[in-house]
Amino acid sequence: GENVEQHPSTLSVQEGDSAVIKCTYSDSASNYFPWYKQELGKRPQLIIDIRSNVGEKKDQRIAVTLNKTAKHFSLHITETQPEDSAVYFCAASLIGNTGKLIFGQGTTLQVKP
Amino acid sequence: NAGVMQNPRHLVRRRGQEARLRCSPMKGHSHVYWYRQLPEEGLKFMVYLQKENIIDESGMPKERFSAEFPKEGPSILRIQQVVRGDSAAYFCASSPDIGEKLFFGSGTQLSVL
């Protein structure tokens, strides 16, 4: 089955700096890769996603890149703000199968003012 | 659209009791997924249901755990004879179709005394 590894487990940056979180997946058939943000005690919220027919996707300060050959994808947050502090999860799934998401272990991002 | 609704938000049970967790998907969503999250860990897939059918229960323990999604009413995750190790946050997510985005509820925090 699919396995998703996420690094780093914790990340601390200064406000205004960039943050990068990386994930690798094992099943080459996976074709959908969302990223979720979870604040303490809250629900995971989808912030951006990418499908395997696209190499990069951007939404304001957030971007995701996908390298299918290497089976890894990354989340990039530019001009970080304190409100970006949260736990970020990557996930992978195979569209057309059950649609279930396999999540990485999470990255705790702390943005220092 | 009220979003994915889960109740109760917090549930306290003594060892050996039963826990019932409810999830009402977003309007128009017929696909429901249950995930378990242990403290400072990622989201682990448990079960995927469509109306009246269990499609994938590969992540659910074979004993004491069951799930249903009846034609009318919410999806129910039932844990019989709870043990301390069942203490976790249980999240439900729904989507309108396979391969569509998953939206999460606020979760039920189960504490077993």
Q: What DSSP element (H or E) covers A88?
A: strand A86-92
Q: Which two tokens stand for residue B41?
A: 């860990």
Tell me if chain A has a CB within 8 Å of the CB of B100: yes
User: Smallest Cα–Cα separation from B66: which of B54, B51, B50, B74?
Assistant: B54
Q: Is the pLDDT of residue B1 over 70?
A: no
Cα B88 from Cα A29, distance rounded (Å): 31
Residues of A near B (Cβ–Cβ under 8 Å) read 1, 6, 32, 34, 36, 42-46, 49, 89, 95-106
Q: Which two tokens stand for residue B31?
A: 């696909």
β-strands A62-67, A86-92 pairing? unpaired
Mean predicted lDDT score pLDDT of chain A: 93
Average pLDDT over residues B27-51: 91
Tell me if chain A has a CB within 8 Å of the CB of B42: yes
Average pLDDT over residues B64-93: 96
A73, A67 contact by CB (below 8 A): yes
A43–B104: do the CB atoms touch at under 8 Å? yes
Tell me if chain A has a CB within 8 Å of the CB of B41: yes
B76, B21 contact by CB (below 8 A): yes
The pLDDT tens digits of the residues spanning A17-30 come to 999 999 999 998 89
State the pLDDT confidence band at A96, using cuts at 50, 70 and 90: low
A95–B45: do the CB atoms touch at under 8 Å? no
pLDDT on residue A33: 94
Distance linking the first and last C-alpha atoms of chain A: 41
The pLDDT tens digits of the residues spanning A29-63 come to 898 999 999 999 899 999 999 998 889 999 999 99
pLDDT on residue A29: 87
A89–B56: do the CB atoms touch at under 8 Å? no
Cα B36 from Cα B1, distance rounded (Å): 25
State the pLDDT confidence band at B51, using cuts at 50, 70 and 90: confident
β-strands B108-112, B10-13 pairing? parallel
3-state DSSP helix/strand/coil percent for chain A, to nearest 5? 5, 55, 40
